[in-house]
Amino acid sequence: MAYFQSKPIAGRHFLQIPGPSNVPDRVLRAMDNPTMDHRGPDFGLFGKQLLEKVKPVFGTKGPVIIYPASGTGAWEAALVNTLSPGDTVLMCETGQFASLWQEMAQRLGLKPVFIETDWRRGADVESIGERLRADKGHSIKAVAVVHNETSTGATSRIDEVRAAMDAASHPALLLVDTISSLGSVEYKHDEWRVDVTVSGSQKGLMLPPGLSFNAVSDKALKASETAKLPRSFWDWKPMLASNATGYFPYTPATNMLYALDTALDMLHEEGLENVFARHERHGEATRRAVRAWGLEIQCEDPRHYSPVLTAVRLPEGHSANALRAAILERFNMSLGNGLGRLNDRVFRIGHLGDIGDLQVLGTLTGVEMGLRVAGVPHKSGGVQAAMDYLAGNA
């Protein structure tokens, strides 16, 4: 069975969760090519080209390491290659995924210092700066930040985090999770002097789940020489040695690399600046719809609004899960659920990846009809507000 659907419904399923995102047909066709010999000469040429092609998406000229794993694997790789048991890591609780990264750090034997927030904005740059200034002995070895918090729809300002670190004259490494932002939101690994950028394939890169990435700085590579956390599969050293000739130290996910190559072509053909502008535009259209419905956006700080997704709070006494279920049942559309403390309080509209104006409007139409079907108090006109914005802002 190629695709399981418990209740067949006419028309294409609308997958509007904040990732995995819809995979373009062109990318699916690339995966359908025969698997090549990953030790043969053609693969070496392909691998070298691909490892160069991926760098501009990260905004780097340095190495990008590709693992056959989910983004969680790239989290672990970032930590174990740069840190030692007992090291202190400063982290900011921007939402569920920041919390999960913090839990991983604890399990690995690190000592995370967690700056708590209300899950309604991005990283607290002022608090990060205060903690670093107070750390006179430089016991904090790394600052770890989630760029785009998928659970809340808030995008942190990594440039401001870097500025706070510089103002404190603190030597900590900067580790950034871009799993849900890479390829959708402007990102500058080199310019912002990020030491390890973590990412995954299934969001803005428009691939299925299965690849993860570490973009690494010279400072991170130097730290890896003395880091003492155990590592084997995640070790950068054998990866970089093999990657120098286009190969991998173990069997790579060959057909996923075909998909990545084609997805990168699509991003570069559209132009990264145009891709980022498209996501900003669709995010604004979605937020205008939410306001017109009289509903509340989870992210309270406009400077942190995410171009990737919008998390929407329902009025007290109304179930976000029941709304999502009604929309799936009636209109064959999947929306993101609330995670962690936001379970059943919010639903999340994904507007990322291979998506155009009509897909956005179709999604918002499904939400507006679903609000009516589920009996959620709202005003009409959200779709019209989005339509007016998109028609007037090409």
With 0.85 as the threshold, say if the pTM is over it: yes
Please tell me whether residues 281 and 224 are part of one structural domain: no
Lookup: tokens for 208? 């299925």
What Cα–Cα distance (Å) separates residue 271 from each residue in 50, 56, 390?
A: 17, 11, 20
- Per-residue pLDDT reduced to its tens digit, 63-116: 999 999 999 999 999 999 999 999 999 999 999 999 999 999 999 999 999 999
Please tell me whether residues 244 and 97 are part of one structural domain: yes
Strands of the sheet with 346-350, listed across from one edge: 14-16, 333-337, 346-350, 309-313, 296-297
Report the DSSP pairing between strands 196-200 and 173-177: parallel
Please tell me whether residues 220 and 276 are part of one structural domain: no
Assess contact for 96 and 339: CB atoms under 8 A: yes
Q: Give the separation between CA 82 and CA 173, rounded to whole angstroms.
A: 8
Where a domain ends, among 252, 268, 284?
268
Domain that holds residue 101: 25-268
Please tell me whether residues 204 and 336 are part of one structural domain: no
Q: Give the separation between CA 373 and CA 182, rounded to whole angstroms.
A: 35
Q: Give the separation between CA 260 and CA 205, rounded to whole angstroms.
A: 7
Please choose, from the candidates 224, 302, 208, 219, the residue with its C-alpha nearest in 3D space to the C-alpha of residue 257.
208
The radius of gyration computed from the CA coordinates of the chain, to the nearest angstrom, equals 21
Lookup: tokens for 202? 């299934």
Where a domain ends, among 229, 251, 268?
268
Please tell me whether residues 250 and 319 are part of one structural domain: no
* Amino acid in position 61: K
Please tell me whether residues 97 and 216 are part of one structural domain: yes
Please tell me whether residues 234 and 287 are part of one structural domain: no
Say what the pLDDT of residue 8 is: 73
- Per-residue pLDDT reduced to its tens digit, 356-392: 999 999 999 999 999 999 999 999 999 999 999 999 9
* Angle made by CA atoms 279, 152, 332, in degrees to the nearest 5: 70
Count: domains in the chain = 2
For residue 350, being part of any structural domain is answered with: yes
Say what the pLDDT of residue 1 is: 42
Please tell me whether residues 223 and 285 are part of one structural domain: no
Lookup: tokens for 305? 């609004």
H or E element at residue 313:
strand 309-313
For residue 4, being part of any structural domain is answered with: no
The CATH number covering residue 259 comes to 3.40.640.10
Residue 348, marked binder: yes
Say what the pLDDT of residue 9 is: 79
Say what the pLDDT of residue 3 is: 54
Say what the pLDDT of residue 6 is: 66
Q: Give the separation between CA 367 and CA 41, rounded to whole angstroms.
A: 51
For residue 1, being part of any structural domain is answered with: no
| Residue 199: how many other CB atoms lie within 10 Å | 29
Q: 330 in the Ramachandran plot: left (φ > 0), alpha (ψ -120 to 50) or beta?
A: alpha
Q: 309 in the Ramachandran plot: left (φ > 0), alpha (ψ -120 to 50) or beta?
A: beta
Non-local (6+) Cβ contacts of 130 within 8 A are none
Looking at the chain, which runs of residues are DSSP E strands?
Answer: 14-16, 64-67, 88-92, 111-115, 140-146, 148-149, 154-155, 173-177, 196-200, 212-216, 296-297, 309-313, 333-337, 346-350
Please tell me whether residues 240 and 377 are part of one structural domain: no
Q: Which residues of the chain have pLDDT under 70?
A: 1-6
For residue 18, being part of any structural domain is answered with: yes
Q: Which residue has the tokens 């995966």?
A: 31
Please choose, from the candidates 192, 182, 204, the residue with its C-alpha nearest in 3D space to the C-alpha of residue 64.
182
* Angle made by CA atoms 173, 94, 111, in degrees to the nearest 5: 45
